[in-house]
């Protein structure tokens, strides 16, 4: 809680305010309201939203019924309240972002799967007071029109700014969820295809046999209507088989495609699994199965031949079919497919492999959890975390542990949610919050190839070109409601020459894929040989066409007119909607102070850090290929995305300008413009910023806050609280002695706030002990609640107390006395003033936190200041150093003798903690320091 106390006002209601009514507080009717509107807090404007808190909505554009909501997270219907999900789904799905072409593209014989990148949009509905980050994606479905089903996941909130400022992280998280979902969907799709192929081949064999029988029956009947029909049917089935086989091939090529989405890096293991599965299938169905392979099923098949619903059944058997693969019975496929509106569409769950589906939901739930609270709260938390991350060395002292569990789980997420992270998998590097733009090193982007000087230039050029190109392409896909994207995406399908290239390339890559063993790194780390060359070629090729276009709407000359119209229409409409969308003042109504804070939200693209670990997997890669294939845009920090329009945008956009060496200004300008586009929110009600109240964070924090109440009570109640706190902070074990367990436990819980380095689970605190303690206990615990008993056990306990009295301070909860060394310092007067005006536990908690944090920072400084511990020159004796240390403590930090003890103890803890990894493994016993001072008895 470094940042919280004095930076931003805390708008969250105290959960314990109701539970523990402050006895000193004035009754409601006598209290003076802080501001006229007593029912709302001054920082939050009234929300018009009909829902109470943010939620995630998943909708689909059904080809039968149109946009419909599928599910919300959390699933509690109360969340949405009276909010009309159907209407909102219509709103967010009506953005036909893909405009993807379906069916047979000209020039190819087979239907093509469209590989569509996700798009990310911020939409708003001012009337409803709802704003949403909308993440569109498509899933494959064999029965769907064009084999695709459009879906979207939306994060719906009442606060537009919250979404705008959290865009990066929302985008990252939703991308992960989307990748997960799509990976599962591809698996399910491949399985479905396999079943379909089985069916088709079975049908084929049956038809062949029938035809053969007919042929045998009489050659004169050869040209009868029936025979012709049969032959047609057979031809249809064969065609269908080829089509499906091609689809299977396409889906297995999925991973070979260069991804433009910087977030779309998926789990390699999943990829590999999926890939090998697909290859297996592909191998299996590359030839027509033995026509008589299913002869033994003939009877059954004949029986089902007329069954219209056979098709459906096969689908419904989905899951069972997967599980008992050998016992799967192929179905006969009727030539005519069912009518569009007759068939039942698969649900989202059916579309996706089960484990992946669950993982996706988990991811989304996690996302929802992590975005709870209003912007101010999130902001503070994030600042807090960022600061704490900078203070890792000293965090263990007073901050709750976030380094390993909480933090990493929240923002660091494995790419694959399906537990592949366990076996040493590469985790996604967290998008670290940058507090200022960091310049990128060019060397990282363009490492020269020392082995091949001849190819160096070309490689570099290519890489740069690729860089520029993909940046150009992907930046719209990233952040904007952008229709270029779709045109980009599909232009390959429209222009015959391009698709030809793509085809041949894919063929080649297919063959190369086949020739090699499936490379586990195939997705991210391309093979060093031909594959990379292929990709590089292709990318440069695409690049040429793109570079030819001067503005972002590339492929305009290649795109058929109809689509172009759509594009421009959409763009126009978008601009209409935005109104003065580019007017940054309207859009990002934040002041400079906020902007500085805003930088806290910016993320460096994680790639530069992540790259080495991604690459180290098997063989070292030549760097140019890295640049080309590693989704170059991922290398660039998208720092400007949010600072556009705000004063901070004047800061050099290093990340965006760097890679455009050879391409010239056009591209960079375009990308910058794209970048500015992306911040536009498609909403008209941007002047409203309502924030629902956030709900609680982690339980431990709640507990600590509750303890803050107890600590406040302790401080007010006991005049010697300062001495007690000093004991704890200077490392002297405090024993709370009492007969009443509840009372002792409460006291211990309150005082535990002051125990430095209490351990992850409070190992240094023992709340209740009812047996005599030993020296080892003293070493282990810094705060002990001890039961006072009037039995022989009690006397031995008292004996141990008096025996070790030099090491401990004793707080007698019953008689209200404290036996400890005298403390006369000033340092703790601030937090242990029994006449304090602080009335609230949580306020006091923050107060404590800030003081302790201050102390920890001082201790850190003290610990790591070289000349305070070691002689500067060889002539200096230890006395000089000692004197310097004392001078530092007394004069520079202004600490007295006893206050110095606190700092020395904290410093010692920091030192031990810092040295621990080296010596910790040897399991040496911990040290226990003390000093010999007299104690005095304090009474109330």
Partner 1 sequence: MLRWILGGREAQSSVEKSPVLCIGEEQPKNWFTELQVLKGHFDIVRFLVQIDDFRCASAGDDGLVLVWNVETGERLQELRGHSQQITAITTFTCSSEVTSHTSLITASSDRSLSLWDPDTGTRVQTISDLQSSVKCLLVLERLCLWVSGGEELCVWNRDFQLQCHRQHKQSDTGITALIELPKNSIGAAVDKEIVIYRLTVSDSSVSVAEIRCLSDHQDQIRALINVNDELFASGSHAGELILWDAIEWNILAYEHILWEESQASTQNAIRLGASKPSEMSIQHLTTNGKLILAAVGSGLYVYNVQTKAVVAYRKVAHDSNVLHTMLLSDSELMSCSEDGSVRIWEIQDLPLPAEPASAGFFGMWNFSRTNKQSGPPSKKVMDIPNIRMLELTGDLIGHSGAVQMFVSFKENGLVTCSTDHLLILWKNGERQSHLRSLALFRKLEEKGGL
Minimum gap (Å) between residue 915 Cβ and partner 1: 6
Q: Which helix (H) or strand (E) holds 938?
A: strand 936-939
What residues numbered 757-786 form the site for partner 1, per CB under 8 A? 774-776, 779
Is 914 near partner 1 (CB under 8 A)?
yes
Q: How many CB atoms lie within 10 A of CB 49?
A: 24
Of 174-182, 376-384, 642-650, 932-940, which segment contacts partner 1 by CB under 8 A? 932-940
Nearer to partner 1, 630 or 800 (CB): 800
Minimum gap (Å) between residue 920 Cβ and partner 1: 11
Q: Round to whole Å and give the CA distance between 304 and 314.
A: 12
Token pair of 548 as six digits: 């030819």
Nearer to partner 1, 695 or 864 (CB): 864
DSSP category for residue 414: B
Of 175-183, 253-261, 375-383, 863-871, which segment contacts partner 1 by CB under 8 A? 863-871
Q: Round to whole Å and give the CA distance between 647 and 592.
A: 7
Nearer to partner 1, 18 or 922 (CB): 922
Strand intervals (E) in 700-816 = 733-738, 765-769, 783-787, 808-812
The binder of partner 1 chosen from 930, 937, 939, 940 (CB under 8 A): 930
Minimum gap (Å) between residue 869 Cβ and partner 1: 4
C-alpha distances (whole Å) from 388 to each of 5, 396, 812 are 14, 10, 36
Of 281-289, 695-703, 785-793, 797-805, which segment contacts partner 1 by CB under 8 A? 797-805
For 604-642, letters b (16+ CB in 10 Å) and e give bbbbbebbeebbeeeeebbbbbbbbbbbbbbbbbbbbbb
Q: Round to whole Å and give the CA distance between 894 and 416.
A: 52
Residues 408, 413, 418, 424: is their CA dihedral positive or negative?
Answer: negative
The binder of partner 1 chosen from 215, 803, 834, 854 (CB under 8 A): 803
Is 927 near partner 1 (CB under 8 A)?
yes
The binder of partner 1 chosen from 931, 937, 939, 940 (CB under 8 A): 931
Nearer to partner 1, 129 or 756 (CB): 756
Phi-psi group of 180: left, alpha or beta (phi > 0 → left; psi -120 to 50 → alpha; rest → beta): alpha
Rounded to 5 degrees, φ, ψ at 516 are -100, 165
Q: How many CB atoms lie within 10 A of CB 438?
A: 14
The binder of partner 1 chosen from 863, 888, 900, 902 (CB under 8 A): 863
Q: Round to whole Å and give the CA distance between 453 and 448.
A: 8
Nearer to partner 1, 654 or 935 (CB): 935
Nearer to partner 1, 515 or 934 (CB): 934
The binder of partner 1 chosen from 338, 804, 861, 884 (CB under 8 A): 804
Q: How many CB atoms lie within 10 A of CB 224?
A: 12
Torsion, CA 295, CA 189, CA 470, CA 511, rounded to 10: -20
Size of the site for partner 1 (CB under 8 A): 39
The binder of partner 1 chosen from 436, 933, 937, 939 (CB under 8 A): 933
Nearer to partner 1, 454 or 925 (CB): 925
Nearer to partner 1, 70 or 880 (CB): 880
Token pair of 845 as six digits: 């908690």
The binder of partner 1 chosen from 393, 427, 444, 566 (CB under 8 A): 393
Burial group, residue 154, by CB count within 10 angstroms (0-12, 13-18, 19+): buried
Is 239 near partner 1 (CB under 8 A)?
no
Nearer to partner 1, 650 or 879 (CB): 879
Nearer to partner 1, 369 or 390 (CB): 390
DSSP letters for 599-625: HTT-B--SHHHHHHHHHTTSSPPPHHH
Of 89-97, 549-557, 740-748, 924-932, which segment contacts partner 1 by CB under 8 A? 924-932
Is 870 near partner 1 (CB under 8 A)?
yes
Is 292 near partner 1 (CB under 8 A)?
no
Q: Which helix (H) or strand (E) holds 139?
A: strand 130-140
Is 884 near partner 1 (CB under 8 A)?
no
Q: How many CB atoms lie within 10 A of CB 694?
A: 20
Minimum gap (Å) between residue 887 Cβ and partner 1: 17
Q: Round to whole Å and give the CA distance between 638 and 595.
A: 16
Nearer to partner 1, 457 or 774 (CB): 774
Tell me which residues touch partner 1 (CB under 8 A): 392-393, 774-776, 779, 800, 803-806, 863-864, 866, 869-870, 878, 904, 908, 911-912, 914-915, 918-919, 922-935
């Amino acid at each position: 809680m470094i940042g919280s106390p004095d930076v931003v006002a805390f708008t969250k209601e105290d959960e314990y305010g109701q539970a523990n009514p402050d006895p000193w507080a004035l009754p409601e009717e006598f209290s003076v309201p802080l501001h006229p509107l007593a029912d709302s807090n001054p920082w939050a404007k009234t929300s018009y939203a009909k829902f109470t808190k943010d939620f995630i909505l998943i909708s689909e554009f059904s080809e039968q019924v149109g946009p419909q909501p599928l599910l919300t997270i959390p699933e509690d219907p109360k969340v949405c309240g009276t909010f009309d999900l159907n209407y909102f789904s219509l709103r967010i799905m009506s953005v036909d972002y893909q405009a993807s072409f379906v069916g047979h593209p000209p020039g190819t014989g087979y239907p093509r799967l469209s590989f569509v990148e996700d798009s990310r949009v911020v939409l708003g509905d001012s009337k409803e007071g709802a704003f949403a980050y909308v993440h569109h994606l498509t899933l494959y479905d064999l029965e769907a029109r064009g084999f695709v089903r459009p879906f979207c996941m939306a994060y719906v909130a009442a606060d537009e700014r919250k979404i705008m400022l959290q865009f990066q992280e929302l985008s990252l998280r939703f991308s992960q969820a989307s990748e997960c979902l799509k990976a599962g969907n591809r698996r399910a799709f491949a399985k479905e295809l396999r079943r379909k192929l089985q069916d088709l081949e079975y049908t084929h064999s049956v038809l062949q046999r029938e035809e053969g029988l007919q042929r045998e029956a009489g050659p004169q009947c050869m040209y009868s209507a029936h025979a012709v029909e049969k032959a047609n049917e057979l031809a249809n089935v064969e065609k269908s088989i080829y089509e499906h086989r091609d689809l299977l091939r396409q889906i297995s090529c999925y991973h070979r495609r260069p991804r433009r989405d910087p977030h779309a890096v998926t789990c390699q293991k999943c990829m590999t699994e999926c890939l090998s599965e697909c290859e297996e299938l592909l191998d299996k169905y590359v030839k027509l199965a033995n026509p008589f392979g299913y002869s033994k099923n003939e009877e059954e098949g004949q029986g089902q031949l007329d069954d219209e619903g056979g098709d459906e059944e096969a689908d419904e058997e989905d899951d069972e079919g997967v599980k008992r693969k050998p016992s799967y019975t192929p179905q006969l496929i009727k030539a005519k497919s069912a009518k569009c509106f007759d068939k039942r569409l698969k649900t989202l769950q059916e579309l996706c492999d089960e484990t992946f589906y669950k993982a996706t939901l988990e991811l989304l739930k996690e996302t929802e959890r992590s975005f709870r609270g209003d912007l101010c709260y999130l902001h503070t938390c994030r600042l807090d975390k960022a600061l704490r991350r900078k203070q890792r060395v000293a965090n263990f002292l007073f901050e709750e542990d976030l380094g390993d569990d909480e933090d990493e789980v929240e923002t660091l997420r494995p790419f694959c949610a399906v537990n592949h992270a366990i076996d040493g998998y590469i985790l996604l590097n967290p998008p670290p919050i940058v507090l200022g733009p960091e310049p990128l090193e060019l060397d990282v982007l363009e490492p020269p190839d020392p082995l091949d000087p001849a190819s160096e230039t070309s490689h570099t050029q290519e890489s740069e070109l690729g860089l520029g190109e993909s940046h150009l392409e992907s930046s719209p896909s990233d952040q904007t409601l952008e229709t270029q994207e779709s045109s980009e995406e599909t232009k390959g399908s429209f222009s015959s020459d391009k698709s030809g290239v793509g085809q041949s390339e894919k063929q080649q890559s297919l063959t190369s894929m086949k020739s090699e063993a499936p490379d586990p790194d195939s997705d991210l780390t391309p093979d060093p040989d031909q594959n990379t060359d292929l990709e590089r070629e292709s990318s440069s090729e695409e690049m040429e066409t793109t570079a030819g276009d001067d503005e972002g709407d590339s492929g305009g000359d290649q795109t058929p007119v109809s689509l172009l119209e759509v594009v421009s229409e959409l763009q126009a409409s978008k601009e209409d909607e935005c109104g003065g969308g580019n007017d940054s003042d309207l859009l990002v109504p934040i002041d400079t102070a906020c902007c500085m804070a805003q930088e806290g939200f910016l993320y460096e693209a994680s790639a530069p850090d992540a790259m080495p670990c991604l690459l180290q997997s098997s063989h070292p890669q030549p760097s140019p290929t890295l640049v080309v294939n590693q989704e170059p845009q991922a290398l660039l920090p998208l720092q400007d995305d949010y600072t556009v329009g705000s004063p901070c945008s004047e800061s050099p956009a290093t990340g965006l300008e760097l890679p455009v060496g050879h391409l010239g200004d056009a591209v960079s300008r375009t990308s910058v413009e794209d970048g500015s586009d992306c911040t536009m929110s498609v909403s008209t009600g941007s002047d409203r910023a309502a924030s629902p109240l956030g709900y609680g964070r982690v339980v431990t924090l709640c507990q600590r806050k509750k303890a803050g109440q107890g600590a406040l009570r302790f401080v007010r109640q006991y005049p010697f609280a300062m001495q007690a706190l000093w004991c704890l902070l200077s490392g002297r074990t405090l024993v709370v002695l009492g007969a009443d367990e509840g009372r002792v436990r409460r006291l211990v819980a309150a005082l535990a706030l002051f125990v430095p380095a209490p351990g992850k689970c409070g190992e240094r605190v023992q709340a209740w002990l009812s047996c005599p303690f030993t020296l080892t206990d003293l070493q282990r615990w810094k705060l002990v609640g001890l039961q006072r008993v009037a039995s022989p056990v009690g006397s031995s306990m008292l004996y141990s107390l008096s025996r070790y009295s030099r090491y401990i301070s004793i707080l007698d909860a019953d008689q209200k006395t404290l036996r400890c060394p005298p403390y006369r310092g000033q340092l703790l007067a601030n937090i242990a003033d029994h006449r304090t005006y602080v009335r609230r536990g949580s306020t006091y908690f923050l107060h404590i936190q800030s003081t302790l944090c201050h102390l920890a920072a001082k201790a850190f400084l003290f610990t790591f200041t070289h000349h305070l511990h070691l002689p500067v020159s060889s002539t200096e004796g230890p006395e000089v150093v000692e004197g310097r240390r004392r001078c530092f403590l007394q004069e520079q930090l202004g600490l007295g003798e006893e206050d110095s003890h606190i700092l020395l103890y904290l410093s010692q803890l920091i030192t031990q903690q810092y040295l621990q990894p080296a010596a910790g493994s040897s399991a040496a016993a911990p040290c226990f320091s003390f000093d010999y001072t007299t104690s005095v008895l304090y009474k109330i």
